[in-house]
Structure 1
Amino acid sequence: MSPTSNFPLLSLGDTSPVLLATKGQLARIGLNVGDTESPVFDQAFDYAVRAFQQERGIICDGALGPETFAQIELARFRLGDRVLRYDPVRPLRGDDVAELQSILSALGMYTRPIDYVFAQVTDAAVREAQSGIGLRADGIAGPVTLEGLRAVHRGTNDGNVFALQERARVNASGPSLVGRIFVIEAATAQSDFATTLYPEDLAELANQHSSDIGRRLEGRLAALGAATVLVTAQQKSDDLADELGASAVITINLDASSSPTANGAATYYFGREDERSVVSPVGRALAELVQKEICARTDLLDGRVHARTWESLRRLRTPKVHVLPGYITNCADRAALAESAIRDRIAEAIAASLQRLYLREDSDPPTGTLDLSAFQARR
């Protein structure tokens, strides 16, 4: 902190032009410094200096000396005021660096003492964090990285790192679907719901309807600029979405029951009903959106959203939802799904849900009203 050693030692009753800048800096961090336009070290400013010294854990004597000036210099920046990166010649120092180190420490990525200095260890921790939340690992703590880290840090009470990374990816990305990858699995009931018994005369019809909804969804997402991979049970690869770095997996099947009265649409995500910390937060958010959109755009009964720890949901790092828009064994559902317009609305509902997942709250329209044409990618 050698630059501060050139400052004079100032205390109550002194007058110096240096006090104008110093008062401004202390006022900016919320201290009552009295008259910020006066170069006089008055009683109000003495109280402010003592409060600052006490807060920073240094000698509380009311005097402005090298140590206090050094701490005031560190307090100049709040996290986000400037872009932070490693400079081996003149490493950045400040409270913003300390706050960044604190966030990284809470996530287990920075294990050294909080020292206010953006050195190699902090650079390595930033790169590790960026990689973990799906961002380019360049070591630059700019707006996108900070938003992602803040989202992770705010969500630490949601449990595992997998969940934190999911939330951060959504918060750190923009609203556009252009360039995103979505995996659509259609008619995969024989592998995902092996214990669900489909009547032989209806199994093929269920597959046809599921596949048709999947194709319609594929077309809508393509129009929004997203890349899609549509797979069936025969083509399915357990790790495909993770390998592709997909944003989400949407599985579409029809349900079946031994009771002909069972009906309605339902959506499933990875989680436990009895333990909120075991969850895919993006999967949960997407499932809730899908369920609301389907029920708003069709007359299908609301079978609600459900958390499940099924292997088909938990084996991926990529957020995944199972969408079951009706029972093939129910006469009313079967008749509704036989209409191409209904299958079209279901596909529209899922596409709208994926778009809404990435919209800011202030620009997210009410359920059932999102017009996807406004988001279509310009070719």
Structure 2
Amino acid sequence: MSDQPKLGDRSTAIELISNTLLRLGFITAPSDIFDEKLTQGIKAFQQERGLTATGVINEITARSLEEARFKLGDRVLSFNFASIMRGDDVSNLQDRLIQMGFNCGKVDGVFGANTERAVKEFQKSVGITSDGKCGPATLISLMRLVKTVSGGAPNQLRESVKHSVRSPALANKVIVIDPSWGGEFTGESANGVIESEIVFDLAQRLEGRLIALGVNVVLTRSANNSPLEIDRIKVANSVNADLVIALKVDSYKNENANGVATYFYGRDDKGVRSVVGERFANLIQREICARTDLLNCQTHAKSWDLLRLTVAPTVRIDLGYLSNPKDAKRLATAAFRDQLAEAMIVAIQRLYLSAEDDAKTGTLKISDLRRAGLRN
């Protein structure tokens, strides 16, 4: 949507939004006007989808509402590189395939090459034409054979096993760091701190420490450019990353908002979560809160594109609020950014340690990792 609907607006687009929310059970009666009831329905939809619950129909929410229109069976699903199909019908297909042990990657609602390959494998297994398209014959076979197991569990197990066999050494791992350029609030704070500069400086401090430990580090931007999110996602996927870490600083109209929060991929409505992403988010959140005085705003499952479309486990860390004078003052201090970098490094290493080799939160130091030989 080019123009965001506002309270009191009427249009055919608002009618379509209303009908979608009605079908999904977020409102109880259709409407052709953007009123408070519709706003509350949008907030509930956003919350369930793992989006920020604002009640505003921004680009991400509009796309999610469009995807929510489709039920499995509404259309023939297929892979087309020039025009990728997205929707809840794709999510449902992926969920069913995973339940039966066919690996299509994340349940992300995107019909890509992995999903096509899983469909072909399924079709072969049931003796129907193996064309990778999900049409009537494939749907009938799916309905007949799908097992009653917890949605996404096999895929979560696969992700966990894949991670568990990796060496605890950081050497030769590929970690992508994605320093935010800035979002809705990109100006200077009361303390003259600019988000794009702060997070890029932190990214460089993190990069230097990781390189010293033998990690291959990829930054998604330089000091003076701002690639689109889809391009940054492509970079992360093209280098076969082991982890992706997005760095951001938040802002809010109320200066009392403060603290650090970490996000990982998950959709509670689908029962889907990145097992490794969630564990990594918890480790980072705990290490930062143990080593700094930032308020603990917890970890949260979200379905933002950066978390959903990256192949590697991905987290986004919101490192305080520039709109809060105390948080801004902390972030403006080089020594504080060093503390943040060390907390992240230790969390990365703890992610790869077995339970018996792990240590208590806030106790490991980078020098401990070197002495333990974990850089080789």
Within 5 Å, give how 1:308-323 maps onto structure 2. 308-323=302-317
Secondary structure, in 3 states, of the residue corresponding to 2:318? strand
* Structure 2 residue aligned with 1:90: none
Task: After TM superposition, give the deviation of residue 311 of structure 1 in Å.
Answer: 1.6
Is 1:352–2:346 an aligned residue pair? yes
Deviations 1:278-323 (A, max 9, x none): 1111111111000000000000111111111112210111111001
TM-score of the superposed pair, with normalisation by structure 2: 0.55
Q: Evaluate the alpha carbon distance shift between residue 170 and residue 207 of structure 1 in structure 2; reply closer, same or farther with a 3 A threshold.
A: same
Check conservation: 2:178, 2:232, Cα contact below 8 A: no
* Structure 2 residue aligned with 1:197: 185
* Structure 2 residue aligned with 1:171: 164
Percent identity of paired positions between Structure 1 and Structure 2: 37
CA distance in 1, matches of 2:276, 2:301: 12
* Structure 1 residue aligned with 2:55: none
Q: Evaluate the alpha carbon distance shift between residue 246 and residue 173 of structure 1 in structure 2; reply closer, same or farther with a 3 A threshold.
A: same
Match for residue 362 of structure 2 among 368, 373, 377: 368
Secondary structure, in 3 states, of the residue corresponding to 1:228? strand
Task: After TM superposition, give the deviation of residue 356 of structure 1 in Å.
Answer: 0.3
Q: Evaluate the alpha carbon distance shift between residue 108 and residue 205 of structure 1 in structure 2; reply closer, same or farther with a 3 A threshold.
A: closer
CA distance in 2, matches of 1:303, 1:364: 24
Check conservation: 2:169, 2:375, Cα contact below 8 A: no
CA distance in 2, matches of 1:172, 1:378: 17
Secondary structure, in 3 states, of the residue corresponding to 2:214? coil
Higher relative contact order (CA 8 A, sep 6+): 2
* Structure 2 residue aligned with 1:207: 196
* Structure 2 residue aligned with 1:286: 280
Check conservation: 2:171, 2:375, Cα contact below 8 A: no
Is 1:258–2:253 an aligned residue pair? yes
Unaligned runs of 5+ in 1: 1-104, 110-127, 129-155, 191-195
Secondary structure, in 3 states, of the residue corresponding to 1:245? coil
Structure 1: which 4+ aligned runs deviate by more than 3 Å?
A: 105-109, 160-165, 198-204, 376-379
CA distance in 2, matches of 1:237, 1:206: 18
Check conservation: 2:286, 2:361, Cα contact below 8 A: yes
Cα RMSD for the two superposed structures: 2.6
CA distance in 1, matches of 2:316, 2:172: 23
Check conservation: 1:187, 1:208, Cα contact below 8 A: no
**Aligned residue pairs: how many?**
225
Task: After TM superposition, give the deviation of residue 244 of structure 1 in Å.
Answer: 1.0
Deviations 1:125-146 (A, max 9, x none): xxx9xxxxxxxxxxxxxxxxxx
TM-score of the superposed pair, with normalisation by structure 1: 0.55
* Structure 2 residue aligned with 1:245: 240
Q: Which moved more, 1:344-353 or 1:160-169?
A: 160-169
Is 1:234–2:226 an aligned residue pair? yes
Deviations 1:168-190 (A, max 9, x none): 22111121111100000112334
Deviations 1:64-86 (A, max 9, x none): xxxxxxxxxxxxxxxxxxxxxxx
CA distance in 1, matches of 2:102, 2:261: 38
* Structure 2 residue aligned with 1:268: 263
Secondary structure, in 3 states, of the residue corresponding to 2:211? helix
Check conservation: 1:166, 1:319, Cα contact below 8 A: no
CA distance in 2, matches of 1:158, 1:288: 23
Secondary structure, in 3 states, of the residue corresponding to 2:201? helix
Is 1:221–2:221 an aligned residue pair? no
Match for residue 179 of structure 2 among 167, 180, 186: 186
Unaligned runs of 5+ in 2: 1-98, 104-120, 122-148
